[in-house]
């Protein structure tokens, strides 16, 4: 035993001396060190499946345009562009001499030419390459949809009267062309004034065909050597599940705007570790959850914590209008009951699980996010009449309103003695999510489905207790769980009464969300139908002058929310951050990939304090005001 103790003590001492040696290093202003939680699955920048890969792609590849720090579209590999009067043909003029570099930062034999953009789209359009996101633009670029389905049919063995080679030849008819090495022309299926917002996505990144042929389509992007780079950084190191290091591209066309020379990203699994590493000086930035902020109270670090940017992702509650639960089906088709739910869910209390300090800051009352869609006069879409009032309402939770709407619904739907008209006792079979018996009488039983994640479970339990209290025991929430995927397990097989879901905002137009919410729309998961709303959307889609267009869309959205087809709940992102990077020096935006660039970011030696952040934010907002107003 004595010897064992001795060995242990020696080991401990070795540890102590070793640690005294390190720890001091790892910080410098031209280096940005951060962490990531999900591994980049592949480096193939057309196949972005996670936020880490998106971040890497944004910084190692350039597109035609990019987001600047105000979120505007500014020239990137394209120097300038023009469009025809009805916004169906867009012509881009490329910058001269932008080089492709390899994974050592060395010049390759190739330059970025107009052909590379044609080849990029050809790669994306081929179903054999399995680029999932292609559907976003399939119906935007002229001829793309037909080309895609021809190839698909051939691959499936259908006889469409031509060989694959012949079908591939038809790419000529797709609306992308390179009349000369510096000109790219896109022809679109319909007038698209917001076409630039598609260009910040990875689908329009360039691809050097000669390099692709050299490594082979299968291997493209499976390691950092099997990729060449056109962006501000090249990938200097990639160890799966460990770290990603990006070094500044010495040949970058805009090298002067790239102050940070090295971006290093470490993989961690526990957010608490990230915070601890920041405190020990090993990181330039970290995110914090509210609980971690609480833990820092009273420490010197507390003054460095400021709110993180919220995202354009919106979470909303979906109600199942065709539920197998007869009690809920009766109630949800009554507008007063939906209003009762709208006012009866205390969203702020639910959100205090995530942020006990400022839960109301995470609320969103509209479907389309604010600060994402701006008309030709610089006016935000959510400031249009109808939506502005919604936005200003903030926390509209109101027990009295909820109760009175509920009373109206009960009066209309029950016989006065608690029995729901037309509903007889039944067993609701929504296995494996849930199975329960309903008696056709009040209290109303409804199934709320949540994931088996800790916070989601907490929220479900809280919602259950909340509705019980607000509706005085007349609404009983039955809880059901799914394990894996909300859509496959819950939404698609219709196994829910109430569930919340979140949706990415795809491109810079309200139609990105609203056109998918119409009757039979792609994200109409409640399966409601409102001809009035559908007609308004159709009218808005036909209008090309942005301010007119947005006026129509905002009217439709207001009607949609007034009739409570979904209940907007919260924003994505949020929480808190500590950082040595000066806020507002780097790109921002509501969608796409280029907003994740580190270009322009200034990193300092000391963390930014909360007071300084507030000051910078005020300055930034007024700068943005004048920058976006024309």
Partner 1 sequence: MSDRIEPALFAPAAFDAAAAERGGYESYSYWRSTFRTFMKSRLAVTLLLAMTALVAFSFAYPALSGADPNAVALDTERWNLRPGSGSGPFGTDGLGRDMWARTWHGARTSLLLGFVIALFDVGLGMIAGAIWGYARRIDRFMTELYNVVTNIPQTVVLILLSYILRPGFWTIVIALCSTGWLSIARFVRNKVITIRDAEYNIASRCLGTPPGRIIGRNVLPYLVSVIIMEAALTIPYSIGAEVFLGFIGLGLPLDTVSLGNLVNLGKANFMLYPYQLAWPTSILAAITVSFYIVGNKFADASDPRNHV
Partner 2 sequence: MLRYMLKRFAQSILTVALVVLAVFMLLRLMPTSGYFSREDYVTMDEAARTAYLRTLGVLDDPFTQFGRFASALAGGDLGRSITVYPRTPITEILAEKIPYSLWFGVAGISVSMALGLLLGVMMARYKDGPTDWLGTAYVVVVRAVPSLIYLFLIQTAASRLLGLPMIFYADDVSSWILPAASMALPGLAWYAIWLRRFMVDEENKDYIKFAVAKGVPRGKVMTGHVLRNAIVPLVQYFPTQVLLTITGSLIIESIYSIPGMGGLLVYAIRQHDNTLVQALVLIYSALVVAGVFLGDVLMALVDPRIKLSSAPVEREAA
Residue 33, beta-bridge partner list: 264
Q: Does 190 bind partner 2 (CB under 8 A)?
A: no
Residue from 29, 74, 89, 152 touching partner 2 (CB under 8 A): that is 152
CA distance readout (Å), 369 to 87, 415, 513, 528: 25, 42, 10, 22
Instruction: Please report how close the Cβ of residue 482 comes to partner 1 at its closest, in angstroms.
Output: 9
Q: Residues 487, 547, 548, 622: which binds partner 2 (CB under 8 A)?
A: 487
- Residues between 268 and 307 that touch partner 1 (CB under 8 A): 272, 291-292, 294-295
The answer to whether 522 contacts partner 2 (rule: CB under 8 A) is: yes
Cβ distance to partner 2 smaller for residue 85 or 241 = 241
Shortest CB 248 distance to partner 2, Å: 21
Question: What residues numbered 260-319 form the site for partner 2, per CB under 8 A?
Answer: 266-270, 273, 276-277, 280, 282
Q: What is the DSSP string of 183-209?
A: EEEEEBSS--TTTHHHHTSGGG----H
Report the run of H or E that residue 613 belongs to, with start and end. Answer: helix 610-628
Check binding of 407 to partner 1 (CB under 8 A): no
Alpha carbon 295 to chain centroid, angstroms = 29
Residue 535 sits in the site that holds partner 2 (CB under 8 A): no
Q: How many CB atoms lie within 10 A of CB 82?
A: 9
Residues 523, 505: Cα–Cα separation, whole Å: 12
Among 72, 261, 267, 349, which residue sits at the site for partner 1 (rule: CB under 8 A)? 349
Query: Which C-beta is closer to partner 2: that of 251 or that of 512?
Result: 512
Residue 479 in the binding site for partner 1 (CB under 8 A): yes
DSSP readout, 215-283?
H-TTTTTSSGGG--B-SSEEEEEEETTTEEEEEE-TT-TTGGG----EEEEEE-S-HHHHHHHHHTT--
Among 196, 260, 466, 575, binds partner 1 (CB under 8 A): 466
Least distance (Å) between residue 458 CB and partner 1: 5
Contact in structure between 65 and 200 (CB atoms under 8 Å)? yes
Q: Does 213 bind partner 2 (CB under 8 A)?
A: no
Q: CB 275 → partner 2: shortest distance, Å? A: 10
Residue whose C-alpha is closest to residue 474's, from 421, 411, 406, 413: 406
Q: Distance from first CA to last CA of the chain, Å, rounded?
A: 80
- Contact region with partner 1 (CB under 8 A), list: 58-66, 209-217, 420-428, 459-467: 459-467
Q: How far is the CB of 291 from partner 1 (least distance, A)?
A: 5
8 binds partner 1 (CB under 8 A): no
462 binds, options partner 1, partner 2, none, Cβ within 5 to 8 A by partner type: partner 1
Q: How far is CA 392 from CA 59, 228, 366, 397, in A?
A: 36, 48, 11, 13
Which of partner 2, partner 1, none binds 291 (CB below 5-8 Å, type-dependent)?
partner 1
Q: How many residues does the chain have?
A: 630
Alpha-carbon torsion (66, 67, 73, 75), positive or negative: negative
Q: Which partner, partner 2, partner 1, none, binds residue 111 by CB below 5 to 8 Å per kind?
A: none
> Shortest distance, CB of residue 389 to partner 2, whole angstroms?
30
Please, which residue, 461 or 618, has the CB nearer to partner 1?
461
Task: Rule CB under 8 A: say whether 457 interacts with partner 1.
Answer: yes
Minimum CB separation of residue 431 from partner 1 in Å reads 9
Helix (H) or strand (E) holding 140: none
626: which 2 tokens?
């004048």
* Structure token digits, residue 425: 């006792």
Question: Are residues 305 and 610 in contact, defined by beta-carbon separation less than 8 angstroms?
Answer: yes
Partner interacting with residue 218 (select from partner 2, partner 1, none; CB below 5-8 Å by kind)? partner 2
- 229 neighbors 101 (Cβ within 8 angstroms): yes
Nearest C-alpha neighbor of 300 from the set 26, 19, 22, 607: 607
Asked if 31 touches partner 2 (CB under 8 A), the answer is no
Under rule CB under 8 A, residue 6 binds partner 2:
no
The residue written with tokens 């490594």 in the block is 215
Minimum distance from CB of 159 to partner 2 (Å)?
16
Q: Which is nearer to partner 2, 76 or 201 (CB)?
A: 201
Number of residues located near partner 2, criterion CB under 8 A: 63
Residue of 12, 22, 417, 454 that binds partner 1 (CB under 8 A): 454
Closest CA to 579 of 355, 262, 304: 304
Question: CA 124 to CA 148: how far, in whole Å?
Answer: 10
Is the Cα torsion angle 19, 22, 27, 30 positive or negative in sign? negative
Sole binder of partner 2 in the list 33, 47, 512, 603 (CB under 8 A): 47
Q: Is 360 in the site for partner 1 (CB under 8 A)?
A: no
**Does position 16 bind partner 2 by CB under 8 A?**
yes
Residue 148, sorted as left (phi over 0), alpha (psi -120 to 50) or beta, turns out to be alpha
Q: Which of 606, 104, 30 is nearest to 262 (CA)?
A: 30
β-bridge mates for residue 502, sequence order? 315
Q: How far apart are CA 182 and CA 112, in angstroms?
A: 9
Q: Which residue has the tokens 């951050």?
A: 577
- 97-136: which residues touch partner 2 (CB under 8 A)? 127-130, 132-133, 135-136
**Would you count residue 461 as binding partner 1 (CB under 8 A)?**
yes
408 binds partner 2 (CB under 8 A): no
**308 is an interface residue for partner 1 by CB under 8 A:** no
CB of residue 473 to partner 1, shortest distance in Å: 14
Rule CB under 8 A: say whether 483 interacts with partner 1: yes
Which residue number, 239 or 452, has a Cβ lying nearer to partner 1? 452
Please state the closest distance from residue 526 (CB atom) to partner 2, in A: 15
Nearer to partner 1, 291 or 429 (CB): 291
- What is the DSSP track for 52-108? HHHHHHHHH---SEEE-TTS-EEESSEEEEEE-TTS-EEEEEEPTTPEEE-TTS-EE
Q: Under the rule (CB under 8 A), what is the footprint of partner 1?
A: 272, 291-292, 294-295, 349, 352-353, 356, 432, 452-454, 457-458, 460-462, 464-466, 469, 479, 481, 483
Q: Under the rule (CB under 8 A), what is the footprint of partner 2?
A: 1, 3-4, 7, 11-12, 14-16, 18-19, 21-23, 39, 41-42, 44, 47, 49, 127-130, 132-133, 135-136, 149, 152, 155-156, 218-219, 221-223, 239-242, 266-270, 273, 276-277, 280, 282, 484-488, 491-492, 501, 504, 516, 522-523
């Amino acid at each position: 035993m004595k010897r064992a103790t001795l060995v242990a003590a020696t080991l401990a001492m070795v540890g102590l001396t070793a640690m005294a040696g390190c720890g001091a290093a790892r910080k410098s202003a031209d280096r940005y060190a951060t962490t990531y939680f999900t591994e980049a699955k592949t480096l193939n920048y057309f196949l972005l499946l996670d936020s880490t890969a998106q971040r890497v792609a944004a910084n190692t590849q350039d597109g035609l345009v990019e987001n600047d720090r105000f979120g505007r579209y500014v020239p990137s590999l394209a120097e300038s562009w023009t469009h025809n009067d009805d916004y169906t043909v867009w012509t881009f003029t490329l910058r001269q001499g932008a080089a492709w570099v390899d994974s050592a930062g060395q010049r390759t034999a190739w330059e970025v030419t107009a052909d590379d953009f044609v080849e990029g789209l050809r790669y994306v359009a081929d179903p054999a390459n399995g680029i999932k996101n292609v559907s976003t633009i399939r119906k935007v670029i002229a001829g793309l949809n037909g080309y895609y389905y021809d190839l698909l049919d051939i691959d499936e063995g259908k006889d469409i009267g031509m060989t694959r080679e012949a079908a591939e030849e038809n790419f000529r008819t797709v609306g992308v062309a390179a009349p000369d090495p510096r000109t790219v022309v896109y022809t679109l299926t319909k007038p698209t004034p917001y076409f630039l917002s598609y260009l910040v996505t990875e689908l329009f990144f360039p691809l050097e065909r000669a390099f692709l042929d050299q490594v082979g389509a299968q291997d493209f992007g499976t390691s950092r050597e099997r990729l060449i780079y056109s962006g501000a950084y090249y990938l200097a190191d990639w160890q799966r599940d460990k770290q990603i290091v990006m070094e500044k591209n010495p040949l970058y066309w805009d090298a002067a705007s790239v102050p940070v020379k090295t971006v290093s990203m470490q993989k961690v699994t526990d957010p608490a570790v990230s915070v601890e590493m920041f405190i020990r000086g090993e990181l330039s930035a970290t995110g914090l959850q509210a609980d971690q902020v609480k833990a820092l109270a009273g420490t010197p670090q507390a003054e460095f914590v400021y709110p993180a940017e919220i995202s354009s992702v919106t979470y909303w509650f979906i109600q199942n209008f065709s539920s197998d639960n007869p009690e809920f089906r009766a109630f949800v088709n009554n507008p007063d009951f939906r209003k009762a739910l709208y006012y009866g869910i205390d969203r702020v209390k639910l959100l205090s699980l995530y942020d006990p300090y400022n839960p109301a800051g995470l609320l969103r009352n509209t479907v389309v996010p604010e600060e994402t869609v701006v008309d030709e006069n610089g006016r935000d879409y959510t400031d249009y009449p109808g939506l502005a009032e919604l936005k200003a309402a903030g926390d509209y939770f109101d027990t009295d309103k909820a109760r009175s709407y509920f009373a109206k619904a009960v009066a209309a739907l029950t016989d006065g003695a608690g029995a729901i008209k037309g509903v007889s006792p039944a067993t609701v079979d929504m296995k494996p999510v849930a199975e329960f018996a309903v008696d056709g009488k009040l209290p109303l039983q409804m199934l709320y489905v949540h994931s088996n994640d800790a916070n989601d479970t907490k929220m479900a339990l809280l919602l259950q207790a909340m509705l019980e209290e607000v509706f005085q025991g007349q609404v009983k929430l039955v809880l059901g769980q799914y394990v894996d995927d909300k859509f496959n397990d819950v939404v698609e097989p219709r196994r829910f009464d109430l569930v919340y879901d979140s949706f990415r905002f795809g491109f810079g137009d309200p139609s990105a969300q609203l056109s998918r919410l119409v009757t039979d729309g792609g994200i109409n998961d409640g399966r409601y139908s409102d001809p009035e709303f559908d007609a308004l959307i159709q009218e808005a889609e036909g209008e090309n002058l942005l301010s007119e267009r947005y006026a129509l869309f905002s009217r439709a959205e207001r009607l949609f929310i007034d009739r409570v087809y979904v209940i907007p709940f919260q924003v994505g992102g949020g929480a808190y951050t500590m950082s040595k990077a000066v806020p507002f020096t780097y790109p921002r935006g509501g969608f796409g990939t280029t907003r994740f660039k580190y270009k322009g970011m200034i990193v300092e030696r000391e963390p930014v304090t909360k007071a300084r952040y507030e000051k910078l934010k005020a300055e930034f907002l007024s700068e943005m005001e004048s920058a976006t107003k024309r």
